[in-house]
Amino acid sequence: MDFPSSSIHLLSDHAILLISLSNVSVAAGIHDFRTPGTGLYSNLKNYNLPYPEAVFDVGFFRSKPQPFVTLASELWPGLKHSPTITHSFLKLLSNKGLLLRNYSQNIDGLEDLAGIPEEELVECHGHFCSSSCIKCHEQADPDQVKNTIVKEGSVPKCENCRGNVQPDIVFFGESLPERFYYRLLKTDVAKADLLLIMGTSLQVAPVSLIPNMVNCSRVLFNREKVLKIRKKKDIFLEGNCNENVTDLCATLGWKEELLEHYAGCRLSSEPKQITR
């Protein structure tokens, strides 16, 4: 692909600050949520749910936690899925001092496994790195919670009140982490010189509102044009994210670094641990 000279200039400027939104894990073998037929919500028939989204509903989890536990045992980070080329691209931006913040809509931990520093990562919908009681909010031992869910397939119970324990992901009915609002409104909207939007439908607020909050140029890496592209200010790179970032890195002279990092973060026979 021949990239616009404006995108080359922005990405090669060593003083640039970036915010990126990434929902690019389908290429890692993780189903998205909403695609009819193949999405996660279309494949939960065996869970006996009143409606697919109930698996992430905080009220449903209080009374019937087993469907989420069964799903979590399949999705737990570091067991089956490796970071993609696009995750390696984001880590490359970080290595070069270009990444202001990565706002991720994912709960799969692949940004963490790719090595993106915690300070540069906002996991908007939470993560599996810590766990707490849904009832009294007491923190639980993360290793014990993981073993109970992944190895036993059972519901972790709080040692303090015997309530159900969940990994600290954001369920429907819960607020996004304070870090999301603090970083976005306190520093990042004002500091961003370029916004990358990668592999997302932009259907879920408040993350979907970010592109309209910034005044900088925006580059959309996506199969569909989910954003109004402003002439002479925004760029739409249609197609597969992995292919487009590989081509872009080749143009920038970064391809060797990209592929080296990608090879290094692939899962071996031993599961990897999330670092927090």
Q: Which residues are annotated as a binding site?
A: 133, 136, 158, 161
Residue carrying structure tokens 């400027």:
13
Sequence ranges of the binding site for Zn(2+): 133, 136, 158, 161
The residues annotated with a catalytic role in the active site are 125
Strand order in the sheet with 121-123: 121-123, 99-104, 18-22, 194-198, 217-222, 234-238
Residue carrying structure tokens 């389908």:
26
Tokens of 195: 């916004």
The one-letter code for the residue type at 197 is I
Q: Where are the beta strands (DSSP E) in 125-233?
A: 126-133, 139-140, 165-169, 194-198, 217-222
Decide: helix, strand or coil at residue 104.
Answer: strand
H or E element, residue 22: strand 18-22
Phi then psi for 151, rounded to 5 degrees?
Answer: -85, -35
Tokens of 94: 């970080």
